[in-house]
Amino acid sequence: MFFFEYVIQLEASVPASPRIRSRSVQFRRFSDRQGRVEITIIFDDDSCLHIAQVVDLDQTEPVGKYAYHYQDSAGALIFRYDNKLHFPDLPSYPDHKHVPGAVVATGRPAIPDVVDEALARLASPQPK
């Protein structure tokens, strides 16, 4: 598989929903098998999910650095999955999830699961 094919597959993995107002895909190809891809999804409440991956398709695990950041319309964090090299005491290190006021151990979720998590939040009433 080439990097461009990976980008197409990644974008296709984003579930369709009437709650998604727009989405954009940007990428930078470093070689035929390496690059960075970013997907931005804007929901109908103006919350936003930013998906970023650095990919090397020559590796056994092709996704290197990643961040899946979901924020409300004011820019406040709702959740963020990433593998930045901090929180070494977490059992899932380097993978973890930021939520307001906490960091929790977790593996890297699949993109459809991240989008579904954001959509589930939209479907449930939020405290004011």
Per residue in 84-128, pLDDT tens? 999 999 999 999 999 999 999 999 999 999 999 999 999 886 665
Return the pLDDT at 70: 98
Mean pLDDT, the chain, rounded, equals 95
Residue ranges of domains in the chain = 3-123
Residue range 70-86, pLDDT digits in tens: 999 999 999 999 999 99
Classify strands 63-71 and 34-43 as parallel, antiparallel or unpaired. Answer: unpaired
The pTM of the full predicted model, rounded to 2 decimals, is: 0.93
